[in-house]
Structure 1
Amino acid sequence: MSKWKLVTEFTFDSAHYIRDYDGPCGRMHGHTYTVRLEATSSTLHASEHCPHPVMVADFKSLRWAKKDVTKGGLDHGILNDILPDNYETTAEMIAQYIYDETKKRIPEGVQLKVAVSETPNSWVEYEE
């Protein structure tokens, strides 16, 4: 069976602290987060911007998190104020949050994997 794999990568800048963390990460600090999304599908889809079934998912839908916080993204926001209470602001939980929110914006049946990095040499990946 044929399948397509769409990959996109972007960055956003945000501040956060990890609640009850005994160390520097428990204090407010910032990162330039790098996010890599992989979307895989055996069928192509339309999107809100293109009525023809010619894409796995729209890049605009995948890159929502890079938008400014005032426009619904995560850029230049305080993640502790943005993420719901059931998500902590660790890289693991940020990856899960981006996954959960992105799944709402892409066609059903598209497989998704999200990788998030807070530093150039440390990554976390999340997929279901």
Structure 2
Amino acid sequence: MSTIRITKQFNFETGHALYGYDGKCRNVHGHSYKLDVTVIGSPISDSSNVKYGMVIDFSDLKKIVKEEIVDVFDHATVFNKNTPHVELAKELADRGHHVILVDYQPTSEMMIIDFASKIKKRLPKSINLFSLKLQETETSFAQWFASDN
């Protein structure tokens, strides 16, 4: 049976700030992120299986990514918890804002590493995460490939 890659794209809005950065992104700001999730596997060959011919049902992949990434990060503000931004995060959270504290600088590069780890843990054993593409702006994105890691 052939090995096939399938991709599903997700969209979410997230704010962040890069503590200690020497440019504009040190300020709290947001992005309309696009996340492409590509998995690899063989289509199910059992014709009695309701998912016959699929590598993974797109709705199953959607459920995993929504629960692990989109529902968590959408309309949240992300800060590195190991910086003074933790004080701002606490004030925002106390005012009812959705704040996520992470143990890394919330750049696209570091977020995509975090996302890869979360998605890989949830995939069925017969399916592997092939790549992720996290697009921050129309012209800027980070990519993660399993073959590089």
Q: Return the TM-score normalized by structure 1.
A: 0.78
Q: How does 1:50-65 map to 2 (within 5 A)?
A: 54=52, 55-57=54-56, 58-59=60-61, 60-64=63-67, 65=69
Helix, strand or coil: the match of 1:104?
Answer: helix
> Hey, what does 1:70 align to over in structure 2?
none
Q: Which has the higher strand share?
A: 1
The answer as to whether partners of 2:35 and 2:135 remain within 8 angstroms in 1 is yes
> Hey, what does 1:21 align to over in structure 2?
21
Helix, strand or coil: the match of 1:101?
Answer: helix
> Hey, what does 2:115 align to over in structure 1?
98
Q: Report sequence identity in percent.
A: 30
Counterpart of 2:70, as a letter, is K
Q: Does 1:114 align with 2:114?
A: no
Larger Rg: 2
Counterpart of 2:135, as a letter, is S
CA distance in 1, matches of 2:101, 2:2: 37
Q: How does 1:8-87 map to 2 (within 5 A)?
A: 8-42=8-42, 44=44, 54=52, 55-57=54-56, 58-59=60-61, 60-64=63-67, 65-67=69-71, 73-80=72-79, 81-82=99-100, 84-85=102-103, 87=104
After the TM superposition, which of the residue ranges 24-33 and 54-63 deviates more from structure 2? 54-63
* Cα distance per residue 1:47-101 (max 9 Å; x no partner): xxxx96654342211333222xxxxx2101112252531x321111111111111
CA distance in 1, matches of 2:50, 2:13: 34
Give 5+ residue unaligned stretches, structure 1: 45-50, 68-72
Give 5+ residue unaligned stretches, structure 2: 80-98
Q: How far did 1:42 drift?
A: 2.7
| Structure 1 runs of 4+ with >2 Å offset | 51-57, 81-84, 108-111
> Hey, what does 1:5 align to over in structure 2?
5
Q: Which has the higher helix share?
A: 2
The answer as to whether partners of 2:132 and 2:145 remain within 8 angstroms in 1 is yes
